[in-house]
Structure 1
Amino acid sequence: MGNFTIRAIAAPLALAAIAATATPVAAQDANSEARLKKVEAEIRALQRKVFPGADGKFFEPQITQAQPTTTNTAAPTTTAVTDILARLDALESQIAGLTAQTEVNTNAINVINQRLDTLSGVAPAATTTTSSEAVGSNLSAMTGGASAPKPAAQPAQPAAKPSGPTAERLAAVQAIAKPQTGDAGDDEYSYGFRLWDAKFYPEAEQQLSLFVEKYPKHSRISYGRNLLGRAYLDDGKPKEAAAWFLKNYQSDKQGARAPDSLLYLAEAMIAMKDTKRACIALAEFSDTYPAVATGRLSGQYQANLKKVKCN
């Protein structure tokens, strides 16, 4: 077979090979071009949200295709690959700018929210602990829906500053010394007792609330909850007092002041004119603490029985 015949056969085969390889490359370039255009469109939409104009309109997107540089000397034509790389560089630059602007906007919004909270005097609401559990079948709903508030930070003061204690009262309260025995918990309780004993009931309520919150496992905790209830009762707040008396009894029926709390619970119910629940509390007291009812607290128990008519 002559050289002319071989060349005649080889030429069509070479053309077919070139066409076969060119088709996947062209398809790949078309696919990359479509994906790149989609990314560019998404960046434009994001630009319009992050960079609004001062007049309410939006800036035009700043993504442009990189143009090949022309010189006097002949230069190779920009290929599809170099064009894509140039456009990807532009996209990356725009994404970095959008990310930075988003962070700036977020920080600015946080600062504004903090200032608004400060101006409006926003403070977290105090948490309360309900006393919905019954003390046996006899003390169901003893407090009439009252809840024993969990001591917490005092709520923010209203905008209109209320009248505070007089200078004389402040001086009298400051004159009551806080013990310094080395037992911090006992000192807090004893200070609350001194305030209550001096009839500074609101101050005693605050101090004893601090004690029961900070030292829930202290040996004086039964004393502290009971005295907190008494401070409320003496302050003319029988509903709040009943919640603390019930809580003290429920928390530890063998506590040092659990019998006292149950008896004072009856007194709180009497103050609320709830004879039924007062009688239930007195019956529970005599059944649970018969020795105390005829001993240490017999006088108080009998006095309470005379205040109500129980079946």
Structure 2
Amino acid sequence: MLKRVTLLLLLGTVAAPLAAQSMPDLNARVGKIEKELRAVQRKVFPDGQPLEPEIVAPKVVPEPLGGPASSPVADLTARVDAIEAQVRSLTAQAEQNGHRVSQLEDQVKQLVADAQARAAAAAPPAALVPPAADEVPASPPPGVERPSTGDPAEDGYIYGFRLWQAKAYPEAEAALKQVADKYPDHRRASFAQNLLGRAYLDDGKPALAAVALYDSYKKWPKGERAAESLYWLGQALTDLKKLPDACKVYAQFGDDYGATAAASLKAQVAAGQKRAKCA
């Protein structure tokens, strides 16, 4: 009996230093994880939303009777391992999203170049263009009034919206573009840029629509029409017969807005994916 008590005391004196040595290592790992979590949060949640990784606590396996109890250090180590795995998963997701956005940027640049080339080819030679001295600016359609509330951005957007409703697309495009360019910090900038893209689509200009709608998503990712802009961008790319690109846009919609978009918009995206023959 005395030998057994002596052995237990010796084991206790050995285990205590080992646990003490493990704690600094765990503290260092936890500190590193906290830094990585903040870095991932800045990538995945640029608006500062709190990051709440879904960490599942390790299952507790009952020890047989008479067996040693689970060490607190071992339990903490298992949880730290789970958090590190979650950080790696979030980091990979952020990198994948960044790569997809980079691909979209390259595709839109190519669309811009194609649209400019077609416009240059369709333009008549300068010598054949008649003088513009007698030209009079086009009048808005009858019944379309410009509001005057004292908020020029709001007034400009409502005016552009009314022109679009009246199918006066060139006039609507000019009014909406002015709002987005002149008042980028106003909440209506996202509305105006999105509707500009839709006006181009309705005017039979899908290449220009794609550029405008991508700009809406890129410049105002948290704007009230950002999610809708990705849907219409997918429609424009489908009209241009760029089906794989349209499918990438719809996938980006799911990544960015799948959890927050209205059910009606998600249904439209699902229909768009079917139209583009997305897998």
Q: What is the alpha-carbon distance in structure 2 between the residues aligned to residue 135 and residue 204 of structure 1?
A: 34
* Separation (CA, whole Å) in 2 of partners of 1:236 and 1:162: 27
**Equivalences for 1:227-266 in 2 at 5 Å?**
227-266=195-234
Q: Structure 1, residues 149-187: CA drift from partner, whole Å, max 9, x if none? A: 9xxxxxxxx663399xxx9xx666143100111111110
- Which residue of 1 is the match for residue 147 of structure 2? 179
Q: Which amino acid aligns with 1:143?
A: V
Residue 275 of structure 1 corresponds to 243
CA deviation profile, 1:198-217 (whole Å, cap 9, x unmatched): 11111111111121222121
Distance change >3 Å, CA 307–CA 250, structure 1 → 2:
same
* 1:1-311 correspondence to structure 2 within 5 Å: 136-139=98-101, 140=103, 141-143=106-108, 145-147=110-112, 160-161=129-130, 173-292=141-260, 295-311=263-279
1:258 & 1:279 partners in 2: Cα distance? 17
Instruction: Write the distance in 1 (CA, Å) between the matches of 2:196 and 2:140.
Output: 21
Q: Which runs of 5+ in 2 are unaligned?
A: 1-95, 116-125
Which amino acid in structure 2 is aligned with residue 142 of structure 1? Q
The 1:199–1:246 alpha-carbon spacing in structure 2 relative to 1, beyond 3 Å, is same
Change (3 A) 1:307 1:202: same
CA RMSD of aligned residues (A): 3.0
Query: What is the TM-score with the length of structure 1 in the denominator?
Result: 0.48
Residue 140 of structure 2 contacts residue 171 of structure 2 at CA under 8 Å; is this kept in 1? no
Cα distance change, pair 275–184 in 1 and its aligned pair in 2 (3 A): same
Q: Is the 8 A contact 2:197 2:208 kept in 1?
A: yes
Asked if the contact 2:187/2:223 (under 8 Å) is kept, the reply is no
| Alpha-carbon separation, structure 2, partners of 1:199 and 1:276 | 31
Structure 2: how far apart are the matches of 1:205 and 1:135?
31
Q: Would the aligned equivalents of 1:188 and 1:208 in 2 still touch at CA under 8 Å? A: yes
Task: Give the secondary-structure state (helix, strand or coil) at the position aligned to 2:98.
Answer: coil
Looking at structure 2, the residues matched to 248 and 206 of structure 1 have their Cα atoms a distance apart, in angstroms, of 16
Percent identity of the aligned residues? 41
Secondary structure in 1 matching 2:141: helix
What SS does structure 2 have at the residue aligned with 1:246?
helix
Instruction: Work out which of the two has the higher radius of gyration on C-alpha atoms and give 1 or 2.
Output: 1
The 3-state SS of whatever aligns with 1:259 is helix
Provide the rounded CA distance (Å) in 1 between the counterparts of 2:257 and 2:215: 17
The aligned amino acid for 2:153 is G
Residue 292 of structure 1: CA displacement?
A: 4.5
Instruction: State the Cα deviation string for residues 284-305 of structure 1 (Å, max 9, x = none).
Output: 1112111345614023112212
Q: Render the CA deviation track for 1:246-285: whole Å, top value 9, x for unaligned.
A: 1111112111000011111110110000011011001111
The 8 Å contact of residues 173 and 196 in structure 2, kept in 1 or not, is answered as yes
Cα distance change of structure 1 residues 135 and 207 upon mapping to structure 2, 3 Å threshold: farther
> Secondary structure at 1:310's aligned position in 2?
coil
Please list every run of at least 4 consecutive aligned residues from structure 1 whose deviation after the TM superposition is greater than 4 angstroms: none
CA contact (8 A) 1:293 1:301 kept: no
When normalised by structure 2's length, the TM-score is: 0.54
Counterpart of 2:219 in structure 1: which amino acid?
Answer: S
SS at match of 1:208: helix
